[in-house]
Chains A and B, each alone.
Chain A
Amino acid sequence: MKPLKNVVPLVIIIAAIITFWLKPGINTASHKRYTRIYENTDQKKSVNDTTKIIPVRASSQVVTVPVKKKYKEESIDLENISKLKSSMFSRSVHFLPELTDSLMEDSVNYVEIEMEETPIDSTNALSKN
């Protein structure tokens, strides 16, 4: 393949795409605002132990629907395009800023309870009754 033979049609195709399809200044977006919502994807589904059968009355059954936690919501306003942050285009930073906050909310507080060993006086308890 001779390179010049390939260059000419490619230049024609590129020029055609720009002038007829891209149409700079003419083919502009009609919508003014884009919003992207980032959700928590790290939450793992809890697996129920199917081997255990727990009798539950129908009236007391509560169906819990897991609610997805929103990490953040970012909007780009095309009117203020100069305020666009570069982080909007980086996938690596999507989860970082709010991750610590959500983890703080989700964290389980473990409280140590000191158990004092006190002998149970069964005879006294029975005698009272």
Chain B
Amino acid sequence: MLPLLFWIPVVFFSLLLAHNAMLYFAHGGEYGILTEKLEARKDLLWNICFYIHLPSGVVCLLTPLYSFSRRYFKKGINQHIIAGKIYLWTSLLLVCPTGMYLALYAKGGVAAQAGFMAQGILLAYFTYQGYETIKKGSALEHVHYMIRSYAAAAAVLSFRILHILFFVLKVPYQDNYAISQWLGLTLNLLVAELIIMITLTKNTSTKTQSL
């Protein structure tokens, strides 16, 4: 029951964000944040990064939903590997570099820009470590790193939720952007560490019981 309470809102917000991201292609031109990005839009590289980041970010956000649900598809190891490879290469080659370039133009000042940059670096680091650990055959470490990696990727969801929450709490707009980013990222990483800790203690308790 508890995993469902966690996954239902995560899936809902992931799909909502994916839908909103795709609307940029449907409406084009001056839509969403593009109306605010007058300076950035003059930069061709920013435009390229933006339109690569949108679909690849959606892939990066949705593929882990399948990968983490592997226990419901016991025979789906091959699909898990395929989904994992899609996530790995999309994150490392597309999402992180484009996201870090977009971060240079992020609103909310240097603090917010550093927050988005940190998210890109952490996502790349954890994803690569997850790949390295499974290559070495350490499945448990792989799971831990992939949980951390997804926590960094899903910071986009908590960022938006916190942004709305702080807006209602009347936090100044510029501060709100940076605070939501940093708090979203750190809260997600904290939740990831807590999940890892809980699963580790569960594993050790079952091992001692079997002994």
Residues of A within 8 A of B (CB): 1, 3-4, 6-7, 10-11, 13-14, 17-18, 21-22, 24, 27-31, 34, 39, 41-42, 78, 81, 84, 89, 91-92, 95
Can you name the residue of chain A whose Cβ is closest to the Cβ of B200? A3
**Cβ–Cβ contact B27 & A3, under 8 A:** no
Q: Which of B28-36, B47-55, B90-98, B203-211 contacts A (4 or more CB under 8 A)?
A: B28-36
The answer, yes or no, to whether B132 is at the interface (CB within 8 Å) is: no
The answer, yes or no, to whether B168 is at the interface (CB within 8 Å) is: yes
Complex CA–CA separation, A100 to B29 (angstroms): 20
- B:120-174 near A, CB below 8 Å: 144, 164, 166, 168-173
The answer, yes or no, to whether B196 is at the interface (CB within 8 Å) is: yes
Our count of residue pairs bridging A and B at CB distance below 8 angstroms stands at 74
Complex CA–CA separation, A92 to B16 (angstroms): 9
**Cβ–Cβ contact B186 & A17, under 8 A:** yes
With both chains docked as a complex, state the minimum distance between the C-beta of B150 and any C-beta of chain A, in angstroms.
15
**Cβ–Cβ contact A39 & B170, under 8 A:** no
With both chains docked as a complex, state the minimum distance between the C-beta of A35 and any C-beta of chain B, in angstroms.
12
A29 interface neighbour in B32, B173, B178, B179, Cβ under 8 Å: B173
Tell me how many residues of B have a C-beta within 8 Å of chain A.
33
Complex CA–CA separation, A92 to B27 (angstroms): 10
Residues of B within 8 A of A (CB): 19-20, 23, 27-32, 35, 144, 164, 166, 168-173, 175, 178-179, 182-183, 186-187, 189-190, 193-194, 196-197, 200
- Known A-B contacts A29-B172, A30-B172, A78-B170; the reply to A21 vs B179 at CB < 8 A is yes
**For the complex of A and B, 6 pairs with smallest distance between CB atoms:** A3-B197, A10-B190, A41-B29, A29-B172, A3-B196, A6-B193
With a CB–CB cut-off of 8 A, which chain B residues contact A78?
170
**Cβ–Cβ contact B168 & A10, under 8 A:** no
**Cβ–Cβ contact A24 & B179, under 8 A:** no
**Cβ–Cβ contact B27 & A22, under 8 A:** no
**Cβ–Cβ contact A92 & B200, under 8 A:** no
